[in-house]
Amino acid sequence: MSGKLIVITGLDGSGTTSVAKSLAEKDPDGLFMHTPNGIFSQIRKGFDGEFRIEHPEAHYLFYLAAVVAASDEIKEHLKFHNVYCVRYLVDTVVSHRVAGVNVQLNYDLGFSTIAIPDITFFIRLNEALRQNRIEIRGKSTLDKVLDVDSVRAAFLHEFRQVCPEMIYIDNDHTVESCVDAMLSHLNALGMAV
Percent of the chain at pLDDT > 70 equals 92
The 3-class secondary structure across 38-86, one letter per residue, is CHHHHHHHHHCCHHHHHCHHHHHHHHHHHHHHHHHHHHHHCCCCEEEEE
Mean per-residue pLDDT, 42-59: 89
Domain ranges of the chain: 5-188
Q: Which residue has the higher pLDDT, 35 or 124?
A: 35
Dist. CA 94–CA 96, nearest whole Å: 5
Q: Give the pLDDT band (50/70/90) at residue 11.
A: confident
User: What are 156-185's pLDDT values in tens digits?
Assistant: 899 999 988 999 988 767 788 888 888 888
Say yes or no to pLDDT of 10 above 80: yes
Q: What is the pLDDT of residues 56-80, one digit of tens each?
A: 999 999 999 999 999 999 999 999 9
State what percent of residues in the chain have pLDDT above 90: 52
**Position 139 confidence tier, pLDDT thresholds 50, 70, 90:** low
Give the pLDDT score at 192: 63
Mean pLDDT of 32-57: 90
Q: Please give the class, per CATH, of domain 5-188.
A: alpha beta
* Strand (E) or helix (H) holding 93: helix 89-98
pLDDT band at 7; cut points 50, 70, 90: very high
pLDDT band at 143, cuts 50/70/90?
Answer: low
**Distances from the Cα of 6 to the Cα of 86, 92, 170, 173, angstroms:** 9, 16, 17, 22
Report the mean per-residue pLDDT for the chain: 87
Tell me if the pTM is above 0.75.
yes
